[in-house]
Amino acid sequence: MIDGVRERLVEAVRLRLRSDVPLGLYLSGGIDSAAVAGIAASLLKEKDPDAKLATFTLAFPQSGVLDEGPIARRMAATIGADVHMIEPTETDLVENFEPAVWHAEQPTLTLHGAGKVILSKFVREQGYKVILSGEGSDEVFGGYSFLLLDYLRDTDPASVSLGFPLPAKDELDMYLKTVEAMKPPQDHVSISNMSFTDATMGRDMYGGISTHRVWATSSPPPDLFTAEVLQKVGGPELTQIIAEGFDARAREKAITGQWHPLHMGLVSAS
């Protein structure tokens, strides 16, 4: 399985290096973009030993350990890339917030989009038309913290087939209960609170998983609406609304246990 993932990842990068215009890469301090950068640099050097990949990074030197610039710079140096560091100010982020919402065509609760607009403008100004990145890997490989609980809800069949040592079912259940008792892994996109014991109907509609419950916290809570609206249509049960939007076949596989809870969580987050 590991070899299969590597083979497909390398081939995916190889195909996206087919470009007749300048090509670069968004490089953060994470393993995802670093892996793509390493693969891309290696493939480029196979054809031209002097080839250099251009990397582009948003850096925030005043943010201390949160600044991914130093890690990205070290990675770029390791593969011999041409490094481009962009250091946006708070004013830059605020000024680009409205354009980010306009391009996304939906509300946003963070400045991530504004940062991406700034980064994209700089890349375009440098003459680059094609960009690779590590985005999407958390959705594919279950990298988000809120997916951990759904991973723990059942034995991982892939690990079993590979012969990895796994905890016993009672140990797994005990750890799951411990994590469920902790503060939910809500992040900066949440605008309402939750627990792992609420919204049972919405969770049961999708096999009892937690991921779509976490996503529901990013939607407007009932107290945002006027009393007249709530009296007329009732308060929104957001987790249930999300579950109702899933394909009926997916809900059936979730409820009957045909899909691992992590897979269901990934579907709900997609």
Q: What is the 3-state secondary structure (H, E, C) of 145-196?
A: HHHHHHHHCCCCHHHHHHCCCCCCHHHHHHHHHHHHHCCCCCCCCCCCCCCC
Q: For residue 59, what pLDDT is reported?
A: 96
Predicted confidence (pLDDT) at residue 185 exceeds the cutoff of 80: no
Task: Report the percentage of the chain scoring pLDDT > 90.
Answer: 41
Class level of CATH domain 2-135 = alpha beta
pLDDT digits (tens, 9 = 90+) for 70-83: 999 999 999 999 99
187 pLDDT tier (thresholds 50, 70, 90): low
> What gap in Å lies between CA 3 and CA 232, rounded to an integer?
56
pLDDT for residue 226: 85
Residues 21-78 have pLDDT tens digits of 889 999 998 999 999 999 999 999 999 999 999 999 999 999 888 899 999 999 999 9
Q: What is the pLDDT of residue 12?
A: 95
Residues shown for the chain: 270
How many Cα atoms occupy the beta-carbon half-sphere of 203 within 13 Å? Answer: 17
- What pLDDT, on the 0 to 100 scale, is given for residue 81? 95
Whether the CB-CB separation of 73 and 55 falls below 8 Å is answered with: no
Of residues 194 and 98, the one with the higher pLDDT is 98
Alpha helix (H) residue ranges in the chain: 2-16, 31-47, 69-78, 90-95, 97-104, 112-125, 137-141, 148-152, 157-162, 169-181, 200-204, 211-216, 227-233, 238-244, 248-256, 261-269
Higher-confidence residue: 124 or 241?
124
pLDDT score of 138: 87
The predicted-structure confidence for 109-168, as pLDDT tens digits, reads as follows 789 999 999 999 999 999 999 999 999 888 888 888 888 889 888 888 778 888 888 888
Q: Which two tokens stand for residue 198?
A: 């609420």
Provide the residue ranges of all domains of the chain, joining segments of one domain with +.
2-135, 140-269
Which structure tokens are listed for 47?
């054809």
The pLDDT of residue 242: 86
pLDDT for 189:
66
The phi, psi pair for 19, rounded to 5°, reads -145, 140
Question: Which residue has 């799951």 as its token pair?
Answer: 176
Neighbour-count burial for 7-27, b at 16+ CB within 10 Å, e otherwise: eeeeeebeeeeeeeeebbbbb
